[in-house]
Amino acid sequence: MNPMISIITVSLNPGGRLKETLESIRSQTFRDFEVIVKDGGSLDESLSSIRDFEDLPLKLVVKEDAGIYDAMNEALKYAHGDFVYFLNCGDTFASEKSLASIAGPLRAKMPKNEDGSVIEKRLIVYGNILDRRTKKIVASNPKINAFACYRNIPCHQACFYSRNLLLEHPFDPRFRVRADYEQFLWCFFRTDTEFVFLDRTVAVFEGGGYSEKHEHRSAEEHKKIAKMYFKPLQLFSYRALLLLTLAPLRTKLAGNPKTAGFYNALKRFIYRFRRPR
């Protein structure tokens, strides 16, 4: 029988951050999972820590890749879970009960045949994350619509994907920074994917990753991907709305440890009125 969740971690010379992430996985009270570590050929000592986790159902794949999204696609080839979850090196689960809190709703959304086999369904279940730098919860938008797809999709550390979605449309490695954004938009605009929000904190997000270190490239890729899925009038109206609502200022408030608490509390309050009925 396949595991319920495949947890994928990709790495390249991560130092002690790989061990930190694996320790977090080991601590989970929910145990119906497998772990795939896809390493791009680390030259540091990080992979030596793998031997400390022989108690985990862990598969290590060491193979040169063309970047993080190519590595994530490669890891998917070894995943057998009904759902896939990506936890980056340095990121951790918010608590030892993070998976347990998600497992019930995941099971409830998994239709089965009379023989007990799972009927494949396009599904993304997502929650919130905690920003390690600000020590504040970053709330995800509880209702996914076109504007949410333009401005504020949940990051992949908040998302549990049905595996068939990722096999049907893998991450496009042409996008070095925002391939997860393109994949999410494909799910929303091109398929009948169901999006389910759970108001619980899934993971602690390390921050400072590749996309944040290459903000200009991230913005350019966002613009290119948006043109693939939005009509020109939509793009114009959404950009105007962001300017009118001071989006650049709000981004700074969210990233500042002194103001992040107030900003995210206000955002969560507003989101309460947007939840699907």
**pLDDT at residue 208, as a whole number:** 59
Distances (CA, A) of 33 to 40, 85, 122, 124, 158: 23, 10, 20, 17, 17
For 50-83, write each residue's pLDDT tens digit: 999 999 999 999 999 999 999 999 999 999 999 9
How confident is the model at residue 213, as a pLDDT?
A: 60
Per the structure block, which two tokens stand in for 30? 């929910």
pTM flag (> 0.85): yes
- Alpha-carbon gap, residue 207 to 213, rounded angstroms: 10
CB 21 within 8 A of CB 88: yes
Domains of the chain (ranges; CATH) run 5-274 (3.90.550.10)
* Contact status, residue 86 vs residue 193, Cβ threshold 8 Å: no
Return mean pLDDT, the chain.
88
Give the SS3 label for residue 250.
helix
Per-residue confidence of the chain (277 residues) as pLDDT tens digits? 678 999 999 999 999 999 999 999 999 999 999 999 999 999 999 999 999 999 999 999 999 999 999 999 999 999 999 999 999 999 999 999 999 999 999 988 887 777 766 777 899 999 999 999 888 899 899 999 999 999 889 999 999 999 999 999 999 999 999 999 999 999 999 999 999 999 999 999 987 555 556 677 899 999 999 999 999 999 999 888 777 775 555 566 566 676 766 556 666 666 666 555 4
Residue listed under structure tokens 């990506």: 86
Q: Give the DSSP per-residue string, 82-144.
A: SEEEE--TT-EESSTTHHHHHHHHHHHT--B-TTSPBPP--EEEEEEEEETTTTEEEPPPSS-
What is the β-pairing status of strands 194-205 and 92-93?
antiparallel
**Who contacts 139 (Cβ-Cβ below 8 Å, separation ≥6)?**
128, 264, 267, 268, 271
Write down the residue that tokens 């997502």 correspond to.
Answer: 126
In contact, 181 and 225? CB cutoff 8 Å? yes
Q: How far apart are CA 185 and CA 222, in angstroms?
A: 11
Q: What does the pLDDT read at residue 240?
A: 87
User: What pLDDT does 277 receive?
Assistant: 44
